[in-house]
Structure 1
Amino acid sequence: MKASQIILAAVALSATVSLTAQTLATGDSRTVSQPSYPTVCQTLTANFTTSQRSSPPSSSSDDTSRLQNALTACQGTGKSVVLATSGSNNAFFTGALNMSGVALVVNSGVTLYGNDSYSSASQLISVTGTNAAIMGPGTIDGRGDLISGTPRLINAKSISNFIAYNITLQNAAKMHLYVEGGSGFTAWGVTINSGPTTANTDGIDIDSLTNATVYGSSITAGDDGVAIKTNSAATSNVTISGTTFIGTHGMSIGSQTMYGITNVLFKNNYVYGKTSGGTYSTNNNGINIKSDIDCGGNVTQVTYTNTCMKYVKHLLIFNSNYGSCSGTTGTPYFTDIIVNGVKTTSSQSSAYSTFNGYSSSYPLGLYLANVSLDTTTQQNSQYASVGLENSNITPSGTGVSTYTVTNISGSVPTCSFAY
């Protein structure tokens, strides 16, 4: 049997259904490995300290001009502009920056802050072109708690081979890392750290993109931990693996799906519905596919393997009637969705799952294997055809049918929770 297929022996109610073959998601078609730091083009040293975060320098005396000049001078080289400490100085303050075909490396102990002047911009850092990168191990702080506007922290558009590596992104005023359009995006060892109650602060948005990987990262944010969507084109070949989500709105697909999403693989991820300090997510989701007639389209060939969840309220959410969303009108149709290996524990009070297909003509097509939930309560389930193997939850509702599936390899995951 090929690794890309599982053979389903389906028995719907008392009837025998012929054998079919389902395709497991394979995710990013690239071979992705740990990034390396590029050759240095220029090194800039800090003039400020982190103690100035609440009272930053004026825009006329901050680092915007010299940062932009260095990024422009090194543009298209694939080399790096490095931000380094100088004695006790360990901070840079900047307005909006543009970079293309260059890496920005924030050294250990250095913080790059968004100054007050970027609050009216669309983003702090705009990234375009080929072989651009944002790298740490330092920190980029949007000071979203102190500025008046809601710009994104990093906005990458029409990119090729864009890398975010070993960097901490925090206190965004809106999304932390938004990538839209192009091919080849890697987020490796990224730490995102904003409170679960900060509105609209998505962790990583993958939008209208082909071939993307998020690996070995930690995301604490006030909205979707990861959001995979299609505002301007289709999205395909995405892998999210070895990543921890804390207090977010979940591992999300949607709500914009109008151009189609296909071949998305989630594997070996942890979801915590609250922080170690006890602050719960404001919309506490685990696995989350969402869309609506206002922005709907096909979502197909999505696989979740070995998912561990704790303190979550909305456990397995498949909702094609999400509510009003912006985009192009289209029918939300979720098919070939495979959940193989999920365990939940200490779920939030009144926890539940939802299996909500759009209509009898566009039902949810789902497979649940090796599923162990600590609560099997459901809400708003309808119009779904669900294959089951070793699952302790059986979807039910108007237009919902289930059948037995065999030969899905795997097991309920053994989870090692940190708290």
Structure 2
Amino acid sequence: MQRIFSLFGIVLLTFASVAIAQDTRTVVEPAIPPACITLHAHLITNSGTIASADELKLDTDRIQQAIDHCGKGHAVTLRVDGTRNAFLSGPLQLRDGVTLLVDKGVTFFASRDPALYQTAPGSCGIVNQSGHGCKPLISVQNVSGAGIMGDGVIDGRGGAKLLNKDVTWWQLAEQARPNGRQQVPRILVADHADNFTLYRITLKNSPNFHVVYNNGNGFTVWGLKIDAPRRGARNTDGVDPGNGSKNITITHSFISTGDDDIAIKGGTGGVTNMTVSHNHFYAGHGMSIGSETNGGVNKIRVTDLSLDGPDNGIRIKSNASRGGLVHDVVYDDICIRNSPNPITFDTGYTAAGTLQGNSLPTYRDITLHNIRISGGGKISFNGYSQDHRVGATLDNVLLTDKANYTYSLRHADITIDPGPVNLNLTGGTDSTLSGIAAKGSPASCTDKFVPFPR
């Protein structure tokens, strides 16, 4: 009996060694810095927007001047003033060590004027074939220690018609199908922004990606809420860390959007040392890696996540035009319900354009531990070729109901060890299955699924 207990303890310790957080920093809940200046609202919200007569009453200059003159370690605070509770702005730039604090009750609206965002005359608010024709609403470039915090809302107004145009940002995205590119702004783009923090803020209705973080070391997202429609809000990713970034933590957050809830984009420079913990996802395309994996993605830990009704659940996607090595990835304590694709490992991702190229995708050393799935759907482990495969270990991965599940396996090596798995993973093309699938008693997901906090 003692021998059996010791072996069981070794198994637990072995899993603990791979499941620990991979952000190498010690991450604690952020603290709101003291204010260097407080700006009071001049505008009033009306049914979730501002009056048409106020659309040219921009706060851009006074907010930017406050940011420019604020000292490191301090915050520019946006605050209500009686019934006045709204700010309206075009593009802003955060400075070194400065936080933008959107206070409770404040809505910070993005201007609907594409001319304010254009990078060249006429470049924004159109559909063309290439380039980035629009500045983001908030840029964080080549600074350290900046942040966006507060219990207020930043609204990108993706579904509102542009000034002097009979089209919304999201309608431009639809017009760009299948081969065009919508020239629309993102809410936040951080580049070379070490130790950047998002804390408690709500971002909603971005015209494109809500948050992009590239080329940085140290990115903390804590208590973030992202809210955009499930349909009609194309390419409205939640949080996209990528391209040379490391030491990232996304935790205690709620994301519901029209595209990937999180997309780890391992383009040039790759992504490493990332922790995703204690989060809730709703509408969207799930917890994604890709489609860019050509720079490599590794040392990723996803734990304590609920995915309630997403188009995809756990997802790794790439193709031969942008593929690379994805490895050392652990998913632990995940509840997925009512997703058409609860697990999707895809090396032939078509939405990124051409499938042809010399950047071939390989996924290996992927661990799925304590995963509970309900509501049916398709489970896919599809490698690219005989030499570029999907390799995954399944440990306590269980379907919790008798809904309809289908499977796709191609160039896949699946290991079941040591816990029970009741997926029907027999057959497949050029695939192997090690271990014996068994029945088990899944832990309850009842407390995992909570309403989106609005």
| TM-score interval, normalised by the smaller of the two chains | 0.7 to 0.9
1:140 and 2:157 are equivalent in the alignment = no
Measure, in 1, the Cα distance between the counterparts of 2:210 and 2:199.
Answer: 14
Task: Output the CA distance in 2 between the equivalents of 1:241 and 1:393.
Answer: 25
Q: Which sits farther off after the overlay, 375-384 or 150-159? A: 375-384
Query: Counterpart of 1:334?
Result: 363
Aligned to 2:61, the other structure's residue is in SS state: helix
Cα distance change, pair 402–2 in 1 and its aligned pair in 2 (3 A): closer
Asked whether 1:162 is paired with 2:196, we answer yes
Q: Give the helix-richer structure, 1 or 2.
A: 2
Give, in whole Å, the separation in 2 of the partners of 1:363 and 1:181: 28
Task: Determine the C-alpha separation between the residues in 1 that align with 2:90 and 2:351.
Answer: 34
- Cα distance in 1 between the residues matched to 2:36 and 2:358: 47
Letter matched to residue 240 of structure 1:
V
Q: Whole-Å Cα distance in 1 between the matches of residues 274 and 91 of structure 2?
A: 29
Where 2:65 maps in the other structure, the secondary structure is: helix
Could you tell me which amino acid in structure 1 is paired with residue 434 of structure 2?
Y
Partner Cα separation in structure 1 for residue 361 and residue 76 of structure 2: 44
Distance change (3 Å), C-alpha of 1:94 and 1:343: same
1:19 corresponds in structure 2 to: none
Structure 2 counterpart of 1:404, from 435, 438, 448: 435
Whole-Å separation in 2 of the counterparts to 1:297 and 1:64: 41
Counterpart residue type for residue 359 of structure 1: S
Determine if contact 2:19/2:332 at 8 Å carries over to the other structure: no
Deviation, structure 1 residue 39: 1.8
Residue of structure 1 equivalent to 2:414: 386
Alignment of 1:20-419 (within 5 A): 23-24=18-19, 26-51=21-46, 53-56=49-52, 61-74=57-70, 77-101=72-96, 102-117=98-113, 118=116, 120=124, 121-128=134-141, 129-146=143-160, 147=162, 148-149=168-169, 150-197=184-231, 198-208=233-243, 209-273=245-309, 284-323=311-350, 325=352, 329-347=358-376, 351-373=377-399, 374=401, 375=403, 377-389=405-417, 390-395=420-425, 396-404=427-435, 412-416=442-446, 417-418=449-450
Conserved? CA contact 2:367–2:393, under 8 Å? yes
CA contact (8 A) 1:295 1:330 kept: yes
**CA distance in 1 between partners of 2:103 and 2:211 (Å):** 19
- 1:112-138 per-position Cα deviation (integer Å, ceiling 9, x unaligned): 000122463321111121011000111
Aligned equivalents of 2:235, 2:342: Cα separation in 1: 21
* Alpha carbons of structure 1 residues 289 and 411: separation in structure 2 relative to 1, 3 Å: farther
Aligned equivalents of 1:397, 1:243: Cα separation in 2: 33
Amino acid at match of 1:67: I
- How far residue 411 of structure 1 moved from its aligned partner, in angstroms, is 7.5
Residues 407 and 424 in structure 2, CA contact (< 8 A), matched pair in contact too: no
In structure 2, C-alpha distance between the alignment counterparts of 1:361 and 1:23, rounded to whole Å? 26
Q: Distance in 2 between matches of 1:34 and 1:201?
A: 27
SS of the residue corresponding to residue 243 of structure 1 reads: strand
Equivalents in 2 of 1:326, 1:126: separation in Å? 28
Q: CA deviation at 1:49?
A: 0.8
Deviation at 1:177, TM superposition (A): 1.2
Higher strand share: 1
Q: Any idea what SS the aligned residue of 1:109 has? A: coil
Q: Distance in 2 between matches of 1:56 and 1:332?
A: 49
Q: TM-score, normalised by structure 1?
A: 0.87
Give the secondary structure class of the aligned counterpart of 1:248: coil
Distance 1:299 1:56 in 2: 49
- CA spacing shift, 1:234–1:193, aligned 2, 3 Å: same
Tell me the CA shift for residue 53 of structure 1: 1.9
Inter-partner Cα distance in structure 1 for 2:404 and 2:300: 26
Q: State the alpha-carbon separation in 2 of the partners of residues 172 and 324 from structure 1.
A: 20
In structure 2, what is the Cα distance between the partners aligned to 1:252 and 1:359? Answer: 21
Which amino acid in structure 1 is aligned with residue 144 of structure 2? T
Identity of aligned residues (%): 33
What secondary structure does 2:281 align onto? strand
Aligned residue identity for 1:42 = I
For residue 195 of structure 2, give the secondary structure of its aligned residue in structure 1: strand
Amino acid at match of 1:254: G
Cα contact 1:59–1:95 (8 A) shared by 2? no
Q: Which amino acid aligns with 2:284?
A: T
Segments of 5+ residues of structure 1 without an aligned counterpart are 8-21, 274-280
How many residues were matched structurally?
Answer: 389
Unaligned runs of 5+ in 2: 1-9, 118-123, 125-133, 163-167, 170-183
Shift of 1:33: 0.8
Mapped to 2, the partners of 1:194 and 1:233 lie a distance apart of 30
Report how far residue 54 of structure 1 moved: 4.9
Is this contact kept in 2: 1:256–1:325, CA < 8 A? no
Contact kept, 8 Å, 1:258 with 1:329, in 2: the verdict is no
Distance (whole Å) between structure 1 residues aligned to residue 267 and residue 305 of structure 2: 26
**Residue pair 1:25, 1:302 contacting (<8 A) in 2 also:** no
Is the contact made by 2:287 and 2:315 (CA closer than 8 Å) also made in structure 1? yes
Report the alpha carbon displacement of residue 309 of structure 1 after superposing the two structures with TM.
Answer: 1.0
Q: Provide the secondary structure at the position in 2 that maps to 1:196.
A: coil
Q: Normalising to structure 2: TM-score of the pair?
A: 0.81
Cα deviations by residue, 1:350-402 (Å, 9 ceiling, x for unpaired): x1110101111122110111111245733442011111141111423011111
